[in-house]
Amino acid sequence: MTVTEATIEGSYELGEVVTDFELPATSGDRVRLSDLRGQPVLIFFTTTWCPYCSAEAPFLEREIWQRYRGVGLQVLSIQVKEDEALAASFAQHHGWTFPVLFDEDGAVSGRFAPDKEGLPPEVAVINAHFVLNADGVVVYRDFLNMERFDARASHVRAVVDELLGAAS
Return residues touching another protein (CB under 8 A): 47-52, 54-55, 81, 86, 89-90, 93, 105-107, 110, 116-124, 126, 144, 146, 149-151
Minimum CB distance to another protein smaller for 40 or for 110: 110
**Whether 41 contacts 76, CB under 8 Å:** yes
- The CB-of-38 to another protein minimum distance in angstroms stands at 31
Residue 61 identity: E
Q: Determine the distance from the C-alpha atom of residue 126 to the mean position of all C-alpha atoms in its chain, rounded to a whole number.
A: 9
Minimum CB distance to another protein smaller for 18 or for 163: 18
d(CA 114, CA 10): 4
- The CB-of-48 to another protein minimum distance in angstroms stands at 4
- The CB-of-134 to another protein minimum distance in angstroms stands at 30
d(CA 164, CA 143): 22
Minimum CB distance to another protein smaller for 17 or for 119: 119
- The CB-of-123 to another protein minimum distance in angstroms stands at 6
Backbone torsion region of residue 118, taken as left when φ is above 0, otherwise alpha when ψ lies between -120 and 50, otherwise beta: left
Minimum CB distance to another protein smaller for 60 or for 139: 60
Nearest residue to 23 via CA among 127, 91, 109, 138:
109
